[in-house]
Structures are given as structure tokens and as C-alpha cells.
Amino acid sequence: MQSAFANWQEFWAMGGYAFYVWLAVAATFISLIALVGQTFWQRRALLAEVRRQASRERRIRAVKQNHEPEEA
């Protein structure tokens, strides 16, 4: 198997297209990192909302149980 580049300097230069190649690589990685970060942030917000909703429903049930008319 033969390498496309003779040395590391040629690899980093990318045949004269280094600016465009590395700009594309950077844009891709930045986008992926932003996507992963947004996913974690959204998951945390969703779980917090589920906890708030569950807590609210528990409070409503507790109030209803405490205010039920007693049978004679």
C-alpha cells in the first residue's frame, strides 16, 4: 500500500488546498460538537420538565385526597 503523501508536510499542505480542506474539517467538527452539546442540553431540559410535571401531578393528587368529602 502506497501513501498519497511523501511526508507529513505534504499531508498538512494537502496538495495546495490546505486552507479549504482544513476549513471544511473544522466546520464539520464544530457542527458535530454543537449538535452533541445541543442534544445534551435539550435532554437535560426535557428531563427537568418531566420531573416538574410529575411533581405537579403528585401535588394535585395529594390535595384531592386531603379534600375528599368524608363518607358518613
Q: What is the pLDDT of residues 15-65, one digit of tens each?
A: 889 999 999 999 999 999 999 999 999 999 999 999 999 999 999 999 999
The C-alpha cell 490546505 sits at 18
Domain segments of the chain as ranges = 19-66
Q: Which three cell numbers stand for residue 68?
A: 375528599
What one-character DSSP code corresponds to residue 72? -
What one-character DSSP code corresponds to residue 4? S
Q: Are 11 and 5 in contact (CB under 8 A)?
A: yes
Looking at residue 72, what is its pLDDT?
53
Please tell me the distance from the alpha carbon of residue 17 to that of residue 8, in angstroms, as a whole number: 15
End-to-end, the C-alpha distance of the chain in Å comes to 91
